[in-house]
Amino acid sequence: MKELKGIKIGKYYIEKPIVQGGMGVGVSWDQLAGTVSKNGGLGTISGICTAYYDNLKYCKKVVNGRPIGAEALNSKEAMMEIFKNARKICGDKPLACNILHAMNDYSKVVEYAIEAGANIIVTGAGLPLELPKLVENHPDVAIVPIVSSGRALKIICKKWKAAGRLPDAVIVEGPKSGGHQGVKAEDLFLSEHQLENIVSEVKEERDKWGDFPYAAGGIWDNDDIQKIMELGADAVH
Ligand SMILES: Cc1cc2nc3c(=O)[nH]c(=O)nc-3n(C[C@H](O)[C@H](O)[C@H](O)COP(=O)(O)O)c2cc1C
């Protein structure tokens, strides 16, 4: 059995190579993310639709029980509160914030997450080509894209390198994960999209740019962890 070794993401050491997936709309907020980080994995707070935190308590504009407008929906006040409460659980252990690229107000939410104390920004659902620019005044904030192909990682690395950064880690999600793979539903079962194949492909691309660790998603149990680590993954998601 392969030994599970810690990984470094930017300047942050994650004792157990388990990166909790960001899960939007209330699934991964303070309690889950704080507890994962407290126990040595990387907890990930979902940065989307934070208005719904604590029954819309921090939302500035609610009509008929719904936040109105992107600014109300992605509430800065709620984000600050979620991080504050997660920190009560995990102290100063590393905490990530997952922010979907496809959301409205992406750049604003990155700003809120940094102000709230996120150590690591994780982004999927699109190519976050502008992310290095958004964190340029925060060199300690690690940046991590989620990809489903070596090609996507190549595009990101090329653009980020030109902006003076590279990913601090990369997360690979296959078709069995609950994420946004960027593949048509009818193509999900093609062999080229299976996790085992894309892990190798992404690792090959990663090796051309540096040795930042990558995590693989779509993992069910310890057998899957062992299998994917045999293929070279440094962590699981
Ligand atoms: C309810 C739910 C909400 C999710 N929301 C997000 C999200 O906001 N951002 C994201 O990048 N991934 C999101 N995901 C994808 C998970 O992060 C990803 O599926 C997981 O980490 C990979 O592990 P899995 O194999 O258990 O799905 C979501 C998944 C679920 C099930």
Taking the CA of residue 122 as reference, the ligand 1 atom at the shortest distance is 11
CA of 145 to the centre of ligand 1 (A): 14
Q: Residue whose CA is closest, atom 29 of ligand 1?
A: 178
pLDDT tens digit sequence for 125-184? 889 999 999 999 999 999 999 998 899 999 999 999 999 999 999 999 877 777 666 677
Cβ-proximal residues to 68 (8 Å cutoff; 6+ apart), any chain: 61, 62
DSSP 8-state class, residue 69: S
Ligand 1 within 6 A of CB of 22: yes
**pLDDT score recorded for residue 53:** 92
Domains of the chain: 7-228 (3.20.20.70)
Ligand 1 within 6 A of CB of 28: no
Going by C-alpha positions, the residue among 28, 179, 49, 44 that lies closest to residue 104 is 49
**pLDDT score recorded for residue 180:** 64
Low-confidence ranges of the chain (pLDDT < 50): none
